[in-house]
Structure 1
Amino acid sequence: MSVATVLEEEETRSLEAREFGFWVYLMTDAIIFALLFATYVVLSKNSAAGPTSNELFDLRHTAVETALLLLSSLTFGMATIAMTAGRAGRVVLWLIVTLALGLGFLVMELLEFHGMIAKGGGPEVSGFLSAFFTLVGTHGLHVAFGALGIVVMTGQVLIKGLTLPVRSRLIRLGLFWHFLDIVWIGIFSVIYLPGVM
């Protein structure tokens, strides 16, 4: 066996170990979100004398946020397809579109938080609002870190090309991004829809 073959096999084993480690990380993140969801469900009716979800939530605003995030999952999928085809330029293009949609989501979320606080619905007002801001804010923080990851990956694709390690990192980042979409669907279904009904 040549040295190049041994190095390639070792690199493949190393990347497989990282992918397994990333799955473990996603599972721990899922546990964190499950705990935050459970906390929200317990505290969701504890609005004290503060505003309720029906007074604070705007389902149209949240629907636009949802559309942006779900579209970003689609565009990340397009980047993955382009990666499989070996088209680095297309990967970069789709990553930039994904980044723009993710940043649009974050801006809308910050505007929502600002509007709620302006109406007297800050996180310190009640157990309901503390749980809401913690859960939705934690998700938003994850989206911000995902957006940072997209910037880094775009740079790596431009500088290094679609090498095996870059492909592996891009797949892991895609898993993270799609995971955030799944969590958001849970947030939309558990928090916003029941909150306005």
Structure 2
Amino acid sequence: MSSVTQHRHPGINLGHTDPETHRQAEETLFGFWVFLMSDLVLFALLFATYASMIGATDGGPGPRDVFELSSAALETGVLLLSSLTMGMASIAMKYEEPPHRLYGWLAATLVLGLVFLGLEARDFVKMASEGATLQRSGWLSSFCALVSTHGLHVTAGCVWLVLSIIQLAVFGLRSEVKLRIMRLALFWHLLDVVWIFIFSVVYLGGLA
């Protein structure tokens, strides 16, 4: 039975548990995938809104006036690095490496997420100081809606990381905690994918 369940959960090691535990894990992960798909629909709508507003600057600043490619590239690098550290945390959890490694990778992901949020906040403050606020034009409204929604998701992911570290310290690496960290990893990697699209479509496309 154990070999079968390992194939069912290639990214997580639940150990030698009863079939009911594995069934519940399947249902939980499937339900979370459905949630992630619904989240993608939200971002797709925000991307569509941004695309429809790309020329609606109302005589105000446009992408070339607002964007700094170096700053966006730095944010991208930080977030991609956080995806790597999250992946290393998943590997440490799957192969039941010493606990300090899992703590370390989760903490590194948290720090990188906070750095990303700090860089993004700095960009918004700079834009506001130059008069590029969301009330200025339809384009700026759609840009702020898309990027800030992603930022709110990263903020939620950072809170989730803190809670996961606390749960690890209190409960240890139980099956329930493993499943929560697995869902967190899926959520975090999705945010990285969404940001790659933001960087490519919004920043690179706007400066092309």
Which protein is richer in helix relative to its size? 1
Residue from 129, 148, 159 that aligns with 1:118: 129
Residue from 160, 167, 170 that aligns with 1:159: 170
| Cα distance in 2, alignment partners of residues 11 and 50 from structure 1 | 57
* Partner residue in 2 for 1:193: 204
Asked if 1:12 corresponds to 2:31, the answer is: no
Asked if 1:140 corresponds to 2:151, the answer is: yes
| Cα distance in 2, alignment partners of residues 170 and 8 from structure 1 | 20
| Cα distance in 1, alignment partners of residues 205 and 84 from structure 2 | 27
* Partner residue in 2 for 1:176: 187
Asked if 1:81 corresponds to 2:113, the answer is: no
| Cα distance in 2, alignment partners of residues 143 and 15 from structure 1 | 25
Aligned to 2:58, what secondary structure does the other structure show? coil
- The structural deviation recorded for 1:163 is 1.1
The runs of 5 or more residues in structure 2 that have no matched partner are 1-16
Aligned residues: 191
* Partner residue in 2 for 1:3: none
Given that 1:46 and 1:128 are in contact with CA atoms closer than 8 Å, whether structure 2 keeps it comes out as yes
Given that 1:92 and 1:158 are in contact with CA atoms closer than 8 Å, whether structure 2 keeps it comes out as no
* Partner residue in 2 for 1:70: 80
Asked if 1:92 corresponds to 2:103, the answer is: yes
Aligned to 1:195, what secondary structure does the other structure show? helix
Given that 1:82 and 1:90 are in contact with CA atoms closer than 8 Å, whether structure 2 keeps it comes out as yes
Deviation track 1:105-158 (CA, whole Å, cap 9, x = no partner) reads 000001101111111100010010000000000000000000111111111112
- The structural deviation recorded for 1:11 is 2.7
Asked if 1:38 corresponds to 2:33, the answer is: no
| Cα distance in 2, alignment partners of residues 141 and 173 from structure 1 | 15
- Alignment RMSD: 1.1
AA aligned to 2:67 is F
Aligned to 2:18, what secondary structure does the other structure show? helix
AA aligned to 1:140 is G
Asked if 1:57 corresponds to 2:67, the answer is: yes
| Cα distance in 1, alignment partners of residues 149 and 134 from structure 2 | 13
| Cα distance in 2, alignment partners of residues 151 and 11 from structure 1 | 26
Given that 1:68 and 1:101 are in contact with CA atoms closer than 8 Å, whether structure 2 keeps it comes out as yes
Residue from 2, 20, 27 that aligns with 2:37: 27
- The structural deviation recorded for 1:49 is 1.8
In the superposition, the TM-score normalised over structure 2's length comes to 0.89
| Cα distance in 1, alignment partners of residues 101 and 129 from structure 2 | 42
- The structural deviation recorded for 1:14 is 2.0
In the superposition, the TM-score normalised over structure 1's length comes to 0.94
AA aligned to 2:148 is G
Residue from 44, 52, 57 that aligns with 1:47: 57
